[in-house]
Structure 1
Amino acid sequence: MKKVLITGGNKSIGFETARQLLQKGYYVYLGSRSLEKGVEAVEKLKGEALFNVEAIVLDVADTASVNAAREEIGRKTDMLDVLINNAGINGGLPMSALEASINQFQAVYETNLFGVVRMVQAFIDLLKKSPTPRIVNVSSSQGSLTLADDPTHKYYQFKGAVYQSSKSALNMYTIALAYQLRDTPFRINAVDPGFTKTDFNNHRGTGSVEEAGARIAKYVLIGADGPTGKYISEEMNPEGGIIPW
């Protein structure tokens, strides 16, 4: 049974992704900053007869928490097949380039970028033991420099300097990571789940969590000939998925 670790897996898109991968036969380590909320999420899934799941206390912005999660999972398994870096924050208001504070930038980067780096570096040894390792970095089309600079882009007027730049940085890390592991079985991609209706955006999104979860799960399930080092948004490009960096 393949094993997947999902950060921020106790709610919204992370939770739905966990549900869909459980339905596909995966064993899920469901990362949650709060043990209570993680256990609640696990019990909800078990109530749907999805039993191969357990909660892991995990705060990606805290190195000690990441290391503790690595030790805990390492006691349970000697191999991890999939890492989904889903946890993220938007930084709150104001988001504009002149008004957003340094503290906002630091907090968002701590989770959206440094948290991913922590997770990859902490779990890479377990991932390397899998014959089919996959890393999905949950990004956003808002991180595309090309689209952000295109006046015809549907979200051109949204200029959240803090959140957008953190996802652009995550995209660059994805490129570098995929390149370093290019001659291995790893498949590593930055995937945009789309503008999804969740509490992350005060339910202003237009897509469903089911659709978002399916988009992430799709790039967990790809075969050896699947893409790697790509930036994918099926919302922006329904035909082929690939969008410009």
Structure 2
Amino acid sequence: MENKTIRRLALVTGANQGVGLEVVKKLVAAGHTILLGSRDLAKGEAVAKDLGDGAIAIQIDVTDQSSIEAAAVRIAKEYGYLDLLVNNAAISNTRKGDLSLQEYARISKASNIAMNEVRSIWETNVFGVLAVYQAMLPLLQQSKDARIVNVSSGVGSLTLNADPAFPYRGVYGPGYAASKTALNGITLAMMLELENTHIKVNLVSPGFTSTALNGFEGTESIEDGSREVVRVALFGPEERSGTYTRWENEQIPW
């Protein structure tokens, strides 16, 4: 349900491009104030300027603890609270280059993926999300209606990948896909920690969206891919926690 009556303050990480940027656009259009998280502040400021008064650029690199802490300090000083955290920042690889997804999958199996690549992917997609959560939780606790939305992927579902009929099963590997499985586990830990509090936590998949993350080989548009993230981000206090969905409200098995 769209929250039209209360202007909320949100932080979206990885928001200067792709799904993150589209989410910011939609949340600003819905009347909310969005802190547009970007590793490169100049890029974030350029994008925020185009979006108008509802978007405010903030520097945050989810792999840099000092950057995360500085962002939290700034938000605390300027606002004192946070209503919504969208953990969107993610990377899919460090060495794909011009390879197709199929070609990249062949060099990214459990037997041959470079360990430094696995560490880099997990640093952003798993540890970065946990670090941002820990830094922003005190601010979310100051809100009367707080929510965390973690952007995962259906390819992280162990249930789906265990099914021989799942079409993306062949590309499951220790890098991106397994990082999303780990993110799901981290998210479940957040859900359990917060289940008796006013802070709700939801997990969403944007689907196979055409972005830089997959070399623009995705089959869904940015607009379509962002819809479930936006739908859940706009939940009001009556909407439940603990869901794992893709558009529209289709439950994904864990």
**How far off is 1:219 after superposition?**
0.9
Is the contact made by 1:187 and 1:229 (CA closer than 8 Å) also made in structure 2? Answer: yes
d(CA) in 2 for partners of 1:30, 1:160: 31
Partner of residue 140, structure 1 = 153
Which of 227, 237, 244 aligns to 1:231? It is 244
d(CA) in 2 for partners of 1:76, 1:144: 38
Which of 159, 180, 188 aligns to 2:172? It is 159
Which letter maps to 1:57? Q
Partner of residue 98, structure 1 = 111
Cα deviation digits, residues 93-134 of structure 1 (max 9, x gap):
432111111111111111101101111100101101111101
**How far off is 1:210 after superposition?**
1.1
Which of 76, 83, 91 aligns to 1:81? It is 83
Cα deviation digits, residues 202-242 of structure 1 (max 9, x gap):
111111111222210111122333231222123xxx5x411
1:241 aligns with 2:216: no
Cα deviation digits, residues 61-106 of structure 1 (max 9, x gap):
0101101111111121011000000000012443211111111111
**How far off is 1:154 after superposition?**
2.4
Partner of residue 9, structure 1 = 15
Which of 161, 177, 195 aligns to 2:190? It is 177
Which letter maps to 1:65? S
Q: TM-score, normalised by structure 1?
A: 0.93
Is the contact made by 1:142 and 1:148 (CA closer than 8 Å) also made in structure 2? Answer: yes
The CA RMSD over aligned residues, in Å, is 1.3
d(CA) in 2 for partners of 1:35, 1:222: 29
Q: Which segments of 5 or more consecutive residues in structure 2 lack a partner in the other structure?
A: 1-6, 97-106
Cα deviation digits, residues 127-171 of structure 1 (max 9, x gap):
011111010000000100111121111222222321111111110
* Aligned pairs for 1:10-49 within 5 A: 10-46=16-52
Partner of residue 144, structure 2 = 131
**Aligned sequence identity (%):** 38
> Which SS does the other structure have where 1:184 is aligned?
coil
Is the contact made by 2:149 and 2:204 (CA closer than 8 Å) also made in structure 1? Answer: yes
Which letter maps to 2:193? Q
Is the contact made by 1:175 and 1:230 (CA closer than 8 Å) also made in structure 2? Answer: no
d(CA) in 2 for partners of 1:90, 1:109: 9
Which of 219, 233, 242 aligns to 1:220? It is 233
Aligned positions, number = 237
Q: Which segments of 5 or more consecutive residues in structure 1 lack a partner in the other structure?
A: none
Is the contact made by 2:209 and 2:225 (CA closer than 8 Å) also made in structure 1? Answer: yes
d(CA) in 2 for partners of 1:187, 1:138: 14
d(CA) in 1 for partners of 2:222, 2:238: 27
Is the contact made by 2:152 and 2:183 (CA closer than 8 Å) also made in structure 1? Answer: yes
Q: TM-score, normalised by structure 2?
A: 0.90
d(CA) in 2 for partners of 1:84, 1:112: 13
Which letter maps to 2:38? S
